[in-house]
A and B are shown apart, each in its own frame.
Chain A
């Protein structure tokens, strides 16, 4: 079993929809990251969180340490949000989920 499990693997949404991507992990962590990988491969760190909730623009990330679960939400989705979203656990030497490929259609 992978240390980091993401769901769904693929997600297609219409522009404007509210999107949720889930991440469960089985190891003790000091931090959890949400990353965005664009088609060219480049990665942007969206959030690093160790408790509670963080918000940046239309993106919201939550984590429940007791349940070992985190969610990434995108409000009012837009085609430019189309990317692979990756959950990773660990402070620096991260372990990665397989990623969720999000496609937002206009």
Chain B
């Protein structure tokens, strides 16, 4: 699975959009971009995933650049409950063990 690079921490004001970047310059054609988040001392939670098109669900939007070398997770109206570590993960669907490779992620602090 391709390696990802994320900033270690970010701040965001409550009610504003949080834009979390991720670089994955070695991504290959059959690899998807996944985003998970982990609230302190809990298990990670799936947010969204995509291959090449932009995706949106009730939690967030995922914007993937045309060359697929980077992506941005957007939380449109951040709340205090969105304070968490956000992980960007690249994974191919045909990987045998299908486990996730977690880096250190971005610690998002939403400020009141």
Decide whether A and B are members of one complex. Answer: no
> Interface residues, chain B, CB within 8 Å of chain A?
none
> Interface residues, chain A, CB within 8 Å of chain B?
none
